Amino acid sequence: MHESILIYRKHRYLKWALALAAVSAVIYLIDRPLGAPNGGTWLGYALGTAAGGLMLWLAWFGVRKRRYGVGKVPLEDWLSAHIYLGTALALIATLHSGFQLGLNIHSVLYVTMMITIISGMVGLYFYVSYPRLLTENRRGLSTEVMLGQIAELDRDVRQIAMATDDATNAMALKSTQDTILGGTALQQLRGFDEHCPTTLARQFVESSVSSQHDAQRRQLLTRLIRKEDLLKRIRRDVQLRCLLKVWLYVHVPFSIAALAALVTHVVTVFYYW
Amino acid sequence: MGDVYKIAIVGSGPGGLSAAAHAAKLGVRHVLLERTDHLSDTIYKYQKGKYVMSTPDVLPLRADVTFNAGKRETILDAWNKQIADVKANVRYNADVTAVNKDGEIFKIKLADGAVIEAEAVVLAIGLQGNLNKLRCEGAGLPLVQYQLDDPDEYEAETIVVIGAGDAGIENAIALSKQNTVIMVNRSSEFARIKQGNLSLITNAIEKGDIQCYFSAETHKIEEKAIILQTADGQARVACDRIIARLGAAAPRKFVESCGIKFPNEDRTSLPEVSPTYESNVPGLYIIGALGGYPLIKQAINQGFEVVEYILGNPIAPADQPLIERKFAGLKPATVEEVLAEIRDVIPVWHSLNPLQLREAMLDSEMHVLKTGATVFKRNDYTSSFFTVLRGTVGIQIDANDPKKMITLGPGAFFGEMGLISGRRRSATVVTVGDCVLFETPRRTMLKLIGSVDSLRRTLDQVAIMRQVQTHLAPGVPVADLMELVETAEIQKFKAGDVIFAQGDKGDHMHLIRSGSCTVSMRVGGKDVVLSYVPSGNYIGEMALLSDMPRSATVKAAHATETVCIKGESFKTLLERNAPLKASVEAKFRQRIKANEQMQKQPEAGSIIEFLIAQGVGEGTDVLLIDESLCVHCDNCEKACAETHGGISRLDREAGPTFATLHVPTSCRHCEHPHCMSDCPPNAIHRTPGGEVYIDDSCIGCGNCERNCPYKVIQLAYPPDEKFNIFSWLLFGKGPAPGEAMSYKSKNGRDDHGHSEKTKRAVKCDMCKGIPGGASCVRACPTGAALRVSPEEFMSVTTLSG
């Protein structure tokens, strides 16, 4: 029950996908069609039908995922099969084309489909590797708790800074007021902010703190260091969570485009028969 | 006033006004005397907007006034209208000072000097007209008050609330919204209050909303301050107002002056009345709280009945039709005959008085079963208690061989183990021959166990014997166990209590009958948890058998009850019984091995500790998330919302994490659910499969939400209409899949966007009724979500790390 999608049910769907790919490849290799292998032979039609069917079934995952409380098969089965059979699709569709690619409407289908598959693989890599990084980065704290701690630090910083000189006070206030988390998609994906007012304030205080009796400054520095660390972790958190989602912005639109191209491909093939 | 009334009713509370309404309806000459200028002064003085309960629910209302649970204002409005409609003869501002019998006629003196004459008098004065007052110096100062009508009237004041009963706490909580509130509690804790109020006040004190002086008494009251006598000496607390809620007692002087006798000198004692509510003075009747029936519905029914009795009609109690229907299967026996048979045949019920027995039977279910019927199955999650009136039942002690049975005849009881432990039923019970059984719900049993001492004792003795037979010494004859059971005693532990400590002398062992424990050992100056032991297991036999000091510390993981068995009697038993000795020795060896293994991986012990702190130990089915697999897609939450009318009962992100194991905010389906402990309409149930769910009778009072230590219950408005996924995708109709409702839509909501319907409590019901099991787990694409029960959660410890 409880295992990663890759090894799920003792690689059941990997075996299915391998079997499907192997059968397709073997038949392709023994088949001797008239002329070069292409989509128009009996094998071409068979592989094309299989690939088209697979595409429809793979796309259905988007609907199945949002149908809750129905169906006997858990979603993990669906996703595991989606991954392995989707990968097999790349081979089957290529065999269907007989390695003939050109500047035509049919290649549009091939390219959109391949982008979908590759983006899916990227997504899979993210899904397999980032959850652990996310958890490690949080060290048991939720985003909400971290934000709460930052708010508390800000209160301290404001209070302590009041007793310092104007320049320090201004830098500290800037840290409490102008620090930005999130922002645009790109900012979120970058995961850091080199102009972060908190970093600037920390650098400023750090350079001016001395071993003299300067309790305020030292207190301020420890608060700013703690805040900087929290900010770093939140930005990393945002970045990782963004990465977990961002690939879908490629995967989903291209899968819909591929479906449209599939319809065009089928219609044109039969129209010009 | 030369006229003589047939009935004079003193007091216009629920009982009095019901009596007046019925007398008016029947056209009997009557008068209702009320001290104040309005009806039902006690309820009139309830806190504004207070929700009035209509318990006991099973009792039907029989009266000429209506009464449904609801707001104080609604109830009073209805009564005022109904009393006016039946043209009851009410005399306001009639403060009765004396009731004297002159021959066959009662003379009732009023404070204004008037005298009213009546053939019969009904005293329905209750207790609240006679509030207990402070008796210290300065008690008469104007800053002291004994009631609170509208807490919103006060702002920015410092208010001292004296008395830690339900009324005091309700006042303090309401006042604390806009005032500084200080509570004075005579004892060191809050005892004898409703569970909901207990969590409210503890929360408020923890958060600092209310300050509380424990073990403190009022010493003196000054113009603007109160002086308290506390354990640490006197404390002066400056305040603007003092509200004392000290309960009420019978106005004994007045009642005695009417000629009525009290059974003893106890301050809380109440006069005795006959089954027709007549006191020792013929013609003088007592109903309601003064007669020992403090509930509103009971008083209303008595008002109706007392008028009938005075007119000479011997009507049956209001619950008669209900109990008749219950016993219909035993016809032609009458209700009285069946009740008498129950008392004679079943010793457990013998110690109840007729009224308690009647109430217990009203709550119970009667089963008339043919031979071979299954009463309950092994592994069912039910917790009701069964008694046998006629016939015989068989308990299948061996799960593999249904032929192996212990039989129980008339008068016996069974099912007490599920009642005590809250875990699955340990055996299947079938009928052997035709049977008549009574099934009493856990709630009713707990009430009785708490109030009837002899019932608890009878139950305990038999229960200990059966627990020993089931979990410790299966197959050993009862005679051999007698000595062990007689010297055994039941011990209770709170969460975190040490049952025994490493290094202690081991002269006894424990059989865990409810709750669970952790076993830990000091390794290198640190406590390492070695194992988790759920109920139905024994602990402490290692030191006992080896005559060595305790090798480990055992702590209660949460509220736990054990049967403590004396070492000597256990050793004698082992000597007499070779197979038992062999099985205990085998367990002993197994335990040493397991402990060794656990010491090698201390991180597994830390996970046990973490999970127990999260309440997993008392849960029966807990949702955990393996964060090394979770991609934060929230599909689990969406699935939950989609299958439960748009409101997710789980919050994935919230809740603590240890290593990569995350415990989201979601119901643990506790063995003894905290939420069930104080549900006024009894709307929270447990299915045989263990799921704890809330049914449609929820009134939205929020008790369960407050009582849940894991904060998994929320109050929510009923859901909006949903459209199918393509309508949402293509036309933007309705909320997205898994998205909570927006409260902006119009259907059935007022200007503020609130539902006209009240909020209801919602929680995880384990997708009861949806084939395939919990939607959250099934909708997890990566297999990160999993559900575990305590028996299997040890295996989870290998997940992490």
Query: pLDDT, tens digit, for every residue of A40-88?
Result: 889 999 999 999 999 999 999 999 998 888 878 889 999 999 999 999 9
Set of chain A residues whose Cβ sits within 8 Å of the Cβ of B777? 74
The answer to whether residue B40 scores a pLDDT higher than 50 is yes
Measure the CA–CA gap between A265 and A271, rounded to whole angstroms.
Answer: 10
A147 touching chain B per CB within 8 A: no
Measure the CA–CA gap between B180 and B199, rounded to whole angstroms.
Answer: 19
Kindly state whether residues A28 and A109 are assigned to the same domain.
Answer: yes
For residue B773, give the chain A residue with the closest CA: A69
Kindly state whether residues A115 and A13 are assigned to the same domain.
Answer: yes
Q: Among B623, B624, B632, pick the best mutation site for testing chain A contact (most A Cβ within 10 A).
A: B632
Measure the CA–CA gap between B323 and B319, rounded to whole angstroms.
Answer: 6
Q: What CATH class is the domain B479-597?
A: mainly beta
A252 touching chain B per CB within 8 A: no
- The residue length of chain A stands at 273
Kindly state whether residues A19 and A45 are assigned to the same domain.
Answer: yes
Set of chain B residues whose Cβ sits within 8 Å of the Cβ of A4? 629, 782-783
Kindly state whether residues A193 and A229 are assigned to the same domain.
Answer: yes
A125 touching chain B per CB within 8 A: no
The answer to whether residue B751 scores a pLDDT higher than 80 is no
B730 touching chain A per CB within 8 A: no
Measure the CA–CA gap between B108 and B9, rounded to whole angstroms.
Answer: 10
A1 domain residue, yes or no: no
Nearest CB among A68, A79, A138 relative to B643 is that of: A68
Q: What is the pLDDT of residue B800?
A: 40
A168 domain residue, yes or no: yes
* Residue B168: other Cβ atoms inside 10 A: 25
Burial B636-645 (b: 16+ CB within 10 A, else e): bbbbbbbbbe
Among A105-119, A145-159, B62-76, B231-245, top mean pLDDT goes to A105-119
Give how far A28 is from chain B: nearest CA, Å: 34
* Domains B4-129+250-310 and B144-244 agree in fold: yes
Set of chain A residues whose Cβ sits within 8 Å of the Cβ of B631? 126-127, 130-131, 244
A230 touching chain B per CB within 8 A: no
Domain residue limits at A29: 8-130+251-271
Which range is least confidently modeled, A17-21, A206-210, B339-343, B487-491? A206-210
Kindly state whether residues A64 and A149 are assigned to the same domain.
Answer: no
Nearest CB among B657, B770, B781 relative to A69 is that of: B770
Q: Report the complex ipTM.
A: 0.89
B786 touching chain A per CB within 8 A: yes
Set of chain A residues whose Cβ sits within 8 Å of the Cβ of B632? 131, 134, 241, 244
**Cβ(B345)–Cβ(B389) under 8 Å?**
yes
Kindly state whether residues A176 and A75 are assigned to the same domain.
Answer: no
The answer to whether residue A200 scores a pLDDT higher than 50 is yes
Confidence grade of residue A251 (pLDDT, cut at 50, 70, 90): very high
B365: left (phi over 0), alpha (psi -120 to 50) or beta: beta
A194 touching chain B per CB within 8 A: no
Which range is least confidently modeled, B408-412, B416-420, B554-558? B416-420
For residue B788, give the chain A residue with the closest CA: A2
A136 domain residue, yes or no: no
Set of chain B residues whose Cβ sits within 8 Å of the Cβ of A67? 725
A151 domain residue, yes or no: yes
A10 touching chain B per CB within 8 A: no
Q: Which residues contact A62 (CB under 8 A, 6 or more apart)?
A: A252, A255
Measure the CA–CA gap between B47 and B45, rounded to whole angstroms.
Answer: 6
Confidence grade of residue B607 (pLDDT, cut at 50, 70, 90): confident
Set of chain B residues whose Cβ sits within 8 Å of the Cβ of A130? 631
Kindly state whether residues A13 and A111 are assigned to the same domain.
Answer: yes
Give the CATH superfamily of B144-244. Answer: FAD/NAD(P)-binding domain (3.50.50.60)
Q: What is the pLDDT of residue B756?
A: 47
Q: Helix (H, G, I), strand (E, B), or coil: what is residue B235?
A: strand
Q: Cβ–Cβ of A68/B779 closer than 8 Å?
A: yes
Tell me which residue of B342, B334, B329, B328 sits closest to B316, measured CA to CA: B334
Q: Among A60, A75, A146, A239, pick the best mutation site for testing chain B contact (most B Cβ within 10 A).
A: A75
Q: Which residues contact B338 (CB under 8 A, 6 or more apart)?
A: B327, B330
For residue B737, give the chain A residue with the closest CA: A66
Kindly state whether residues A96 and A176 are assigned to the same domain.
Answer: no
Tell me which residue of B376, B381, B360, B364 sits closest to B693, measured CA to CA: B381
Q: What is the pLDDT of residue B801?
A: 35
Tell me which residue of B93, B96, B128, B78 sits closest to B8, measured CA to CA: B96
Write the DSSP string, B279-301: -SSTTEEE-GGGGT--SHHHHHH
A150 domain residue, yes or no: yes
What is the 3-class SS of A118-157, one letter each residue? HHHHHHHHHHHHHHHHHHHHHCCCCHHHHHHHHHHHHHHH
A134 touching chain B per CB within 8 A: yes
B632 touching chain A per CB within 8 A: yes
Kindly state whether residues A198 and A257 are assigned to the same domain.
Answer: no
B345 touching chain A per CB within 8 A: no
Measure the CA–CA gap between B614 and B788, rounded to whole angstroms.
Answer: 13
Nearest CB among A72, A138, A244 relative to B631 is that of: A244
Give how far B529 is from chain A: nearest CA, Å: 21
Q: What is the pLDDT of residue B743?
A: 42
A238 domain residue, yes or no: yes
Q: Cβ–Cβ of A131/B631 closer than 8 Å?
A: yes
Q: Cβ–Cβ of B635/A134 closer than 8 Å?
A: no
Q: Is the dihedral of CA A113, A118, A123, A127 positive or negative?
A: positive
The answer to whether residue B385 scores a pLDDT higher than 90 is yes
Q: What is the pLDDT of residue B9?
A: 95
Tell me which residue of A202, A244, A227 sits closest to A147, measured CA to CA: A227
Q: For the domain bounded by B322-451, which CATH number is listed?
A: 2.60.120.10
Nearest CB among B629, B643, B779 relative to A75 is that of: B779
Q: Cβ–Cβ of A131/B657 closer than 8 Å?
A: no
- Matching residue, tokens 């009240």: B758
Give how far A76 is from chain B: nearest CA, Å: 4
Q: Cβ–Cβ of A76/B653 closer than 8 Å?
A: no
Q: Which residue has the higher pLDDT, A71 or B571?
A: B571
The answer to whether residue B747 scores a pLDDT higher than 50 is no
Q: Cβ–Cβ of B782/A72 closer than 8 Å?
A: no
For residue B769, give the chain A residue with the closest CA: A69
Which range is least confidently modeled, B219-223, B484-488, B609-613? B609-613
Q: Cβ–Cβ of A76/B638 closer than 8 Å?
A: no
Nearest CB among B628, B654, B725 relative to A135 is that of: B628
Q: What is the pLDDT of residue B161?
A: 93
Rg (CA), chain B: 31
Kindly state whether residues A239 and A267 are assigned to the same domain.
Answer: no
The answer to whether residue A178 scores a pLDDT higher than 60 is yes
- Matching residue, tokens 């129950």: B342
Which CATH topology does B4-129+250-310 take? FAD/NAD(P)-binding domain (3.50.50)
Count up the domains in chain A and report the number: 2
Confidence grade of residue B52 (pLDDT, cut at 50, 70, 90): confident
Which range is least confidently modeled, B52-61, B94-103, B464-473? B52-61
Amino acid of residue A28:
Y
Which of the 8 DSSP states describes residue B516? E
Q: What is the pLDDT of residue B656?
A: 85
Average pLDDT over residues B329-356: 86
Q: Rounded to 5 degrees, what are φ and ψ at A35? A: 75, -165
Q: Cβ–Cβ of A132/B660 closer than 8 Å?
A: yes
Mean per-residue pLDDT over chain A, rounded: 91
For residue A5, give the chain B residue with the closest CA: B782
B647 touching chain A per CB within 8 A: no
B316 touching chain A per CB within 8 A: no
Q: Cβ–Cβ of B632/A135 closer than 8 Å?
A: no
A132 touching chain B per CB within 8 A: yes
- Matching residue, tokens 């392995």: A84
Q: Cβ–Cβ of B783/A67 closer than 8 Å?
A: no
Q: Cβ–Cβ of B799/A2 closer than 8 Å?
A: yes
Kindly state whether residues A257 and A227 are assigned to the same domain.
Answer: no
Measure the CA–CA gap between A206 and A220, rounded to whole angstroms.
Answer: 9
A61 touching chain B per CB within 8 A: no
Give how far A112 is from chain B: nearest CA, Å: 22
A67 domain residue, yes or no: yes
The domain segmentation of chain B, as residue ranges, is 4-129+250-310, 144-244, 322-451, 479-597, 601-801
Which structure tokens are listed for B414? 């069974």
Q: Among B629, B649, B792, B797, pick the best mutation site for testing chain A contact (most A Cβ within 10 A).
A: B629
The answer to whether residue A229 scores a pLDDT higher than 90 is yes
For residue B644, give the chain A residue with the closest CA: A69
Q: Cβ–Cβ of B783/A127 closer than 8 Å?
A: no
Q: What is the pLDDT of residue B135?
A: 86
A231 domain residue, yes or no: yes
A76 touching chain B per CB within 8 A: yes
Kindly state whether residues A181 and A126 are assigned to the same domain.
Answer: no
Measure the CA–CA gap between B728 and B107, rounded to whole angstroms.
Answer: 78
Q: Rounded to 5 degrees, what are φ and ψ at B663? A: -105, 100
Q: What is the pLDDT of residue A268?
A: 93
For residue B641, give the chain A residue with the closest CA: A68
Average pLDDT over residues A141-146: 84
B144 touching chain A per CB within 8 A: no
User: Alpha-carbon dihedral of residues B27, B30, B34, B38, nearest 10 degrees?
Assistant: 20
Q: Which of residues 696-725 of B touch A (CB under 8 A)?
A: 725
Mean per-residue pLDDT over chain B, rounded: 85
Q: What is the pLDDT of residue B796?
A: 60
